[in-house]
Amino acid sequence: MKKLSARRRHPLAAVVVLLLALAATGGLYAAFAPAGKAQADETAQSLAIDEGKKLYTVGCASCHGTGGQGTTDGPSLVGVGSAAVDFQVGTGRMPAQQPGAQVPKKPVIYTQAEIDQLAAYVASLGAGPITPTDKQVDPAGADVAKGGELFRNNCAQCHNFTGKGGALTKGKYAPDLEGVSPKHIYEAMQTGPQSMPSFPDTTMPEQEKKDIIAYIQTVNGSESASPGGLALGGLGPVSEGLFAWIFGLGALVAVAIWVAAHTAKAKKS
Ligand code: HEC
Ligand code: HEC
For the question of whether the overall pTM of this predicted structure is more than 0.85, the answer is: no
Residues 56 and 106 in one domain: yes
Question: Confidence band (pLDDT; 50, 70, 90) for 148?
Answer: very high
3-13 pLDDT, tens digit each: 655 566 777 77
Is the CB of 205 within 6 Å of ligand 1?
Answer: no
Ligand 1 centre to CA of 82 (Å) is 13
24-82 pLDDT, tens digit each: 776 776 666 656 677 888 888 899 999 999 999 999 999 999 999 999 999 999 999 99
Tell me which of 92, 125, 158 is where a domain ends: 125
What is the longest distance spanned by two Cα atoms in the chain?
Answer: 143
CA distances from 112 to 1, 23, 87, 134 (A): 66, 40, 11, 14
Residues 139 and 219 in one domain: yes
Residues 94 and 138 in one domain: no
Q: For a ligand 2 pocket test, name from 155, 157, 162 the mutation site with the most ligand atoms within 8 angstroms of its C-beta.
A: 155
Is the CB of 189 within 6 Å of ligand 2?
Answer: yes
Is the CB of 199 within 6 Å of ligand 2?
Answer: yes
The CA distance from 22 to 190, in Å, is 50
Ligand 1 centre to CA of 208 (Å) is 28
The CA distance from 104 to 173, in Å, is 10
Average pLDDT, the chain: 86
Is the CB of 194 within 6 Å of ligand 2?
Answer: yes
160-174 pLDDT, tens digit each: 988 888 888 888 999
**Residue 5: inside a domain:** no
- CB-side exposure of 147: number of CA atoms within 13 Å? 21
CATH code, domain with 194 = 1.10.760.10
Q: Which domain holds residue 170?
A: 134-224
Q: Is the pLDDT of residue 17 over 80?
A: no
The average pLDDT across 199-221 equals: 93
